[in-house]
């Protein structure tokens, strides 16, 4: 294949473009930097299709369940909007509206015949990162050498979503190897941020970020081993859940460094609201994923944890830690302002915010960088060699080839260090609670040192990756937008690269709400409250 | 230290023996093969001390909680009985009655002052395998080079048991390295089975098995990565729980191959009854171990799972799979009879027993043997070299030096194979349930191919280790005893070594009840019912 990698990549790219019906093609020749208004202005979507795609998933499934909406109509609307989305952001690695329409038709027939839905996601289109296998389709993960390999079975999560009634119509783009927080590969090239084509949509679930960001998708499935759910959520003004390992099924998905278990990649939803994240989580848990993926913990949705948090918010209020820098890289002014805004808003609303000193994040970031590089990039470079395609520019940032990799003894030592660090961190948390005489319910911190970033500029993964090492539950909350008038240069920080305030103007700013391990119910409820207080709880 | 390893070992052994007060020494010169009656006949224990040590832990904590028993009295009784136990089985690696009495005294004072217990185990002596660290004591794990290193903090489990009110008085012997299902090391030599000194008490938690077996302990803490809780339970006619990984805290314990996470060793109780196992588990979970050990899942005791199982036993009855051989090694006739007895007893009582074909256990056993040897024994041999002590005889059976070890790529491949195998296994389970139209609640299988075995004869770990690879919850239920009249030679099997029926006469026979991952509540409830129907639910 070596000689033909460009040909194979071009053919696949052409197939993706050809999968968009001619009547859904739009003129993209005179678009500006932001394409956010294209869906509503290009004329392809009817008013009802705009209404559908601008709804919440929670509303849609309710209307689908009463029969007031048909799966075929919802699917048509999202297929058309995703077609627009791909044309303006280059977000797809697979697009299959025909298969989607067939699925939708069958769901409508089932509903008509049985007078009920097949499950909690009946008729809801869900977009999938191109790691999730869908029977009959390719999963390239941005690797040229994986083109033309067609999946013979669904991933566990695909199968369970299907059982819950979800419709699949698009698989979204990723950076070659996944190990980059931007989205570029040699098959489709670069995905861009719909708010400004000069910005990255983030990565590695960047295709999801872009597609859900412009509402070509309503709930997208991403994965995260170093920020890959959270960065695209942050860069596209979306909510995102990085569950702790063991809550959501990753079985039979494609991955880089398959079998690497020192730090697990996790799978979770990206959406426009916490209720939509919750809809995803409850719907998957209802399918008892632990009966199909041995790594999933038999832990059903704990409504009592959710209810207790909601009650606490109303009565005694929350106690939340926060910090705006991890002691390694000082965030840009917009991010500092974002954290300030969250802190002051919460305080104004009666919650207690306390200084949480990030415990040895420098150590954590170094440790996890070593883990990413524990095979010295062998897995990635083996897959690249198979086609002869070159590596993308940023490949060496996260999987650092100057690290020599690990032998078994070194790996065991790293794993022991990880465990000890995790235990020290939760003891610090315990000590804080002892000092306070009450629980610290979660803590608030940046996700990246910058707002949505220009292409090829993403350098520092530590705000995200330290949380992966700790395996804490994290929920992304969109906060506001960078503003050249408000975000003045701060002379006290150590710049990572040339900062151009102009370049960030309008870029989304987010924080992550970090809870203890396996606290998805509680941490999402807190994130919902934070979003509500910020006025970001309901989007168009 | 190299030159002096014998001296260091002898000094430590002497210290252990010296820790037994003179007035607790007994004459062991004319004992027979079985020492089970020594505690009641040697004259050291008063009637009330015999009563206490012959009670259940559940009874004792109830009496301690009402104040009708004092912690000092209970502790004295168990210290004395453990002193006997060590003299006749050689089960101790640390014995510290003075520290225990001090702890008991403080607990009594607390009770007197506050009119309540400190926790659910108030005043109950718990024996600890010599991997659990107790502040101020040594943890040698049978390694000469670890002598004279005194622990500066408790292991997480030690600390939580202490918080729950447990009293510590003995740390029990293990085989050098832990990776053997017998118990022999160069410090104290060999621990023997109290039912017959020619038999092993099993291993690696063999000191626990012997000590709890003769009631020098009432609940013992063991660990299991390849049978090390289950084999000593089986060989000493005890109940034992191998919880799934993540249920009980292993943090800050000593271990072989620390940081190895491909298959986790787990920690759990060995006791005389399921209610006593349950007392241990509920007491530990009440201390919220997940707040102290990052590997523990925040899963409190699920009484509803227990209750539903009890209800099912009463109403619709259980559906249990079973097999008596794994397709690799045919068990000896006593074990086959044991499985038969369990199956027929359950059937007579209305439960449904179905043929469960062990799925690829040969593959599983080979895979896990590779995992045990993934550093080619380097960790173990490094620790041995530090003192110059020789390896114990069986060291190469489980950590096979003819395997070449693994590099990172190989390890990842093995980890992926493990995950896929686990998923295939639970799909087989699901398929069986679909076929049956109901749940298969657990399955029943042997733990070892033989009843309690003669020294140096333990060869095949597969009945235990396949379950470690699957990370299923397993509960050991004692069944009956080998009987030369009943257990005739079966010509159809492939003998592992020269069988001497005479040698096994009277040796304990057990089965394990294997539940899905993290089903401790349910699987213990099933095991309790099995034991009850066998007439083994209540021991002296």
pLDDT in tens, A365-377: 999 999 999 999 9
Q: Which of A156, A374, A517 sits opposite B408 (nearest CB)?
A: A374
Q: Which of B12, B70, B129, B312 is catalytic?
A: B129
Compute how many other C-beta atoms are within 10 angstroms of the C-beta atom of residue A40.
17
Q: Which of B375, B419, B423 sits opposite A409 (nearest CB)?
A: B375
Mean pLDDT of the A109-120 span: 98
Residue among A244, A374, A412 with most chain B CBs within 10 A, to mutate: A412
CATH number of A2-22+34-256+265-534: 3.90.1300.10
Q: Which of A378, A408, A416 sits opposite B405 (nearest CB)?
A: A408
CA distance B536 to B528: 9
Count of pairs with CB atoms under 8 A, one residue in A, one in B: 127
Element (H or E) spanning B161, and its range? helix B156-163
Mean pLDDT of the A412-423 span: 98
CB–CB contact A378 B409 (8 Å)? yes
Position B539 scores a pLDDT of 46
Q: Which of B155, B228, B256, B374 is catalytic?
A: B228
For residue B292, the chain A residues in CB contact (below 8 A) are 423, 426-427, 430
Q: Which of B356, B364, B324, B351 is nearest to B461 (CA)?
A: B364
Mean pLDDT of the A104-123 span: 98
B48 noted as active-site residue: no
Q: Which positions ≥6 away from A97 have C-beta within 8 Å?
A: A19, A21, A79, A83, A169
For residue A416, the chain B residues in CB contact (below 8 A) are 258-259
CA distance B428 to A260: 25
Compute the nearest-CA separation of B377 from chain A (Å).
10
A113 noted as active-site residue: no
Peptide bond connecting A408 to the previous residue in cis, omega within 30 degrees of 0? no
Side-chain half-sphere CA neighbours of B516 within 13 A: 23
How far, rounded to the nearest angstrom, does the alpha carbon of residue A257 sit from its chain's CA centroid? 19
CB–CB contact A299 B299 (8 Å)? yes
CB-based contact B525:B500 (threshold 8 Å):
no
As a whole number of angstroms, the longest Cα–Cα distance in chain B is 67
Q: Which of A251, A405, A413 sits opposite B259 (nearest CB)?
A: A413
Could you give the percent of chain A with pLDDT greater than 70? 96
Q: Between vectors from CA B140 to CA B138 and to CA B145, what angle results, nearest 5°?
A: 110
Residue carrying structure tokens 């009432």:
B218
Q: Which of B173, B191, B204, B374 is catalytic?
A: B204
Residue carrying structure tokens 């940023």:
A394
Q: Which two tokens stand for residue A447?
A: 């996700």
CB–CB contact A298 B516 (8 Å)? yes
| Mean pLDDT of the residues in chain A | 95
Q: pLDDT tens per residue, chain B (540 residues)?
A: 456 999 999 999 999 999 999 999 999 999 999 999 999 999 999 999 999 999 999 999 999 999 999 999 999 999 999 999 999 999 999 999 999 999 999 999 999 999 999 999 999 999 999 999 999 999 999 999 999 999 999 999 999 999 999 999 999 999 999 999 999 999 999 999 999 999 999 999 999 999 999 999 999 999 999 999 999 999 999 999 999 999 999 999 999 999 999 999 999 999 999 999 999 999 999 999 999 999 999 999 999 999 999 999 999 999 999 999 999 999 999 999 999 999 999 999 999 999 999 999 999 999 999 999 999 999 999 999 999 999 998 888 777 777 778 999 999 999 999 999 999 999 999 999 999 999 999 999 999 999 999 999 999 999 999 999 999 999 999 999 999 999 987 655 554 444 455 789 999 999 999 999 999 999 999 999 999 999 997 644
A294 noted as active-site residue: no
Q: Which of A261, A416, A516 sits opposite B415 (nearest CB)?
A: A261
Compute the nearest-CA separation of A403 from chain B (Å).
14
pLDDT in tens, B388-419: 999 998 888 777 777 778 999 999 999 999 99
Compute the nearest-CA separation of B151 from chain A (Å).
16
pLDDT in tens, A194-208: 999 999 999 999 999
Position A397 scores a pLDDT of 78
CATH number of B2-22+35-534: 3.90.1300.10
Counting Cβ atoms within 10 Å, is residue B363 exposed (0-12), middle (13-18) or buried (19+)?
middle
Counting Cβ atoms within 10 Å, is residue B73 exposed (0-12), middle (13-18) or buried (19+)?
middle
Report how far apart, in Å, the C-alpha atoms of A201 and of each of A179, A180, A449, B507 are. Answer: 15, 12, 15, 67
CB–CB contact B375 A518 (8 Å)? no
Position B405 scores a pLDDT of 85
Q: Which of A316, A313, A325 is nearest to A356 (CA)?
A: A325
CA distance A164 to B177: 49
Mean pLDDT of the A6-19 span: 97
Helix (H, G, I), strand (E, B) or coil at A137: coil
> DSSP state, B115?
S
pLDDT above 50: residue A93: yes
Binding site feature residues of B for substrate: 178, 204, 225-228
Q: Which of B86, B5, B3, B10 is nearest to B391 (CA)?
A: B5
Position A503 scores a pLDDT of 83
Compute the nearest-CA separation of B413 from chain A (Å).
6
CB–CB contact A419 B290 (8 Å)? no
Q: Domain limits of chain A?
A: 2-22+34-256+265-534
For residue B427, the chain A residues in CB contact (below 8 A) are 292
Compute the nearest-CA separation of B166 from chain A (Å).
22
Residue among B153, B225, B408, B519 with most chain A CBs within 10 A, to mutate: B408
Position B497 scores a pLDDT of 47
């Amino acid at each position: 294949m070596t000689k033909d990698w460009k040909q194979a990549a071009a053919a696949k790219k052409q197939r993706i473009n050809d999968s968009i019906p001619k009547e859904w093609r739009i003129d993209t020749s005179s678009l500006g930097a932001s394409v956010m208004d294209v869906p509503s202005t290009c004329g392809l979507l009817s008013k009802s299709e705009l209404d559908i795609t601008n709804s919440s998933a929670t509303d849609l499934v309710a209307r689908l369940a009463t029969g007031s909406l048909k799966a075929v109509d919802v699917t048509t609307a999202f297929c058309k909007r995703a077609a627009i989305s791909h044309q303006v952001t280059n977000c797809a690695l697979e697009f299959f509206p025909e298969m989607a329409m067939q699925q939708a038709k069958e769901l409508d027939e089932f509903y008509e015949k049985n007078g009920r839905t097949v499950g909690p996601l009946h008729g809801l289109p869900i977009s999938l990162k191109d790691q999730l296998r869908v029977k009959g389709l390719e999963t390239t993960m941005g690797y040229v050498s994986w083109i033309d390999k067609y999946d013979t079975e669904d991933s566990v999560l695909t199968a369970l979503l299907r059982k819950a009634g979800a419709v699949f119509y698009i698989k979204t783009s990723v950076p070659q190897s996944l190990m980059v927080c931007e989205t570029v590969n040699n098959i489709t090239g670069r995905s861009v941020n719909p708010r400004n084509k000069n910005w990255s949509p983030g990565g590695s679930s960047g295709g999801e970020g872009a597609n859900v960001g412009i509402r070509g998708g309503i709930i997208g499935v991403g994965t995260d081993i170093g920020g890959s759910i959270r960065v695209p959520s942050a860069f596209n003004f979306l909510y995102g859940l990085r569950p702790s390992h063991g809550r959501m099924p990753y079985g039979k998905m494609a991955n880089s460094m398959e079998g690497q278990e020192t730090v697990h990649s996790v799978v979770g939803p990206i959406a426009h609201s916490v209720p939509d994240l919750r809809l995803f989580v409850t719907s998957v848990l209802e399918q008892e994923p632990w009966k199909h993926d041995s790594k999933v913990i038999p832990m059903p949705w704990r409504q009592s944890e959710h209810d207790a948090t909601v009650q606490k918010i109303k009565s005694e209020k929350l106690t939340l830690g926060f910090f705006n820098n991890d002691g390694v890289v000082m965030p840009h002014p917009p991010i500092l302002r974002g954290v300030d805004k969250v802190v002051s808003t919460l305080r104004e609303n009666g919650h207690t915010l306390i200084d949480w000193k990030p415990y040895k994040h420098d150590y954590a970031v170094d440790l996890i960088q070593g883990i990413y590089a524990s095979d010295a990039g062998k897995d990635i470079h083996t897959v690249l060699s198979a086609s002869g395609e070159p590596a993308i520019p940023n490949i060496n940032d996260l999987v650092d080839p100057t690290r020599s990799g690990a032998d078994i003894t070194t790996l065991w030592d790293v794993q022991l260090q990880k465990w000890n660090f995790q235990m020290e961190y939760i003891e610090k948390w315990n000590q804080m609670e002892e000092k306070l005489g009450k629980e610290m319910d979660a803590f608030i911190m940046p996700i990246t040192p910058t707002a949505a970033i220009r292409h090829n500029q993403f350098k520092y993964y530590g705000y995200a990756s330290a949380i992966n090492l700790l395996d804490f539950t994290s929920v992304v909350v969109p906060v506001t937008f960078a503003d050249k008038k408000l975000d003045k240069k701060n002379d006290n920080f150590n710049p990572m690269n040339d900062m151009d305030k102009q370049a960030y103007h309008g870029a989304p700013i987010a924080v992550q709400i970090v809870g203890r391990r396996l606290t998805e119910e509680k941490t999402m409820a807190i994130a919902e409250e934070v979003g509500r207080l910020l006025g970001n709880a309901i989007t168009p």
